[in-house]
Amino acid sequence: MKILYISLLLLLFSVAAHSQSEEDYQNALGLVKKAFNEKQATSLYEKFSSSLKGKLKQDAFTKTMDSLHTEKGTLSSYELILEENKERSYLTEFENASMLLLIQLSPEGEISTFTIKEY
């Protein structure tokens, strides 16, 4: 019985150690805002997980982000509106539009999901 309790405690600590905190998400969002507003898509792309990089090539991502910046203007704020299956949806306010940002962090703290779409 004692081994079962110890095993459960170790499992809980393991899950907690790999869960991303609110601070982790705020840091990631700060990076998104800074990289977007300063047209530094490469610095954001570097924080993507290898699986996301495999799906989204750097050149295409950079062109899309630059085009979005030209069309929508600077990113001013974001507000969490939904969290589902560790993926968070933020209402994101730009200078000329409101959009939805979907983001998820991997257990390693990398960005494993990143989508900006019309709200």
Residue spans of the domains in the chain: they are 20-118
- In the block, tokens 């309790």 appear at 5
Q: Residues 1-35: pLDDT tens digits? A: 455 444 433 444 434 444 678 999 999 999 999 99
What does 54-73 look like in DSSP terms, one character per residue?
HHS-HHHHHHHHHHHHHHH-
Share of the chain above pLDDT 70, in %: 84
CA nearest to 36, candidates 81, 88, 94: 94
The CATH code that applies to domain 20-118 is: 3.10.450.590
**How do residues 29-46 score in pLDDT, each as one tens digit?**
999 999 999 999 999 999
Give the pLDDT confidence score for residue 8 in this predicted structure.
37
